[in-house]
Amino acid sequence: MDYDKFLKNLAKAYLVMIVFAIIFLLRGRPSRVKDYKLSEDITYSGEMDGKKFYGQGALLTKDGLYKGNFKDGLMEGDGVYIGDDYYYIRKGKDTYIKYNDGRIFRKDKDKWEQVDEKRED
């Protein structure tokens, strides 16, 4: 390969790298927000990718608080929703509701089953 051909190929390689770097920089990195108001009653704190919730975050509503994972703006994976008198827990493939009075229910396919009796101690 002669020197001129080598320089042309090197220039093409640099051009391709510059284009990929520009695309990467324009896409941006996930950012972190605190107390981001979606409406009068809904606030989000956590990671965002563009304008979508992404990664770890907390969504506060007038009815309760969700802490957990988000992907593409939606709740996904593990998380806990804390209501006035219950906790809704998703961990792995298991989903539970735990009431403040001690009752615990586990979701099995499409129905809920009580897994722990109310304790009086």
- 78-108 residues labelled b (16+ CB within 10 A) or e (exposed): ebbbeeeebebbbeeeeebbbeeeeebbbee
Q: Which of 5-9, 89-93, 117-121 has the highest mean pLDDT?
A: 89-93
Question: pLDDT tens digits for 29-88?
Answer: 667 888 888 888 899 999 988 788 888 999 999 889 999 999 888 888 899 999 989 999
Whether the full predicted model's pTM is greater than 0.75, yes or no, is no
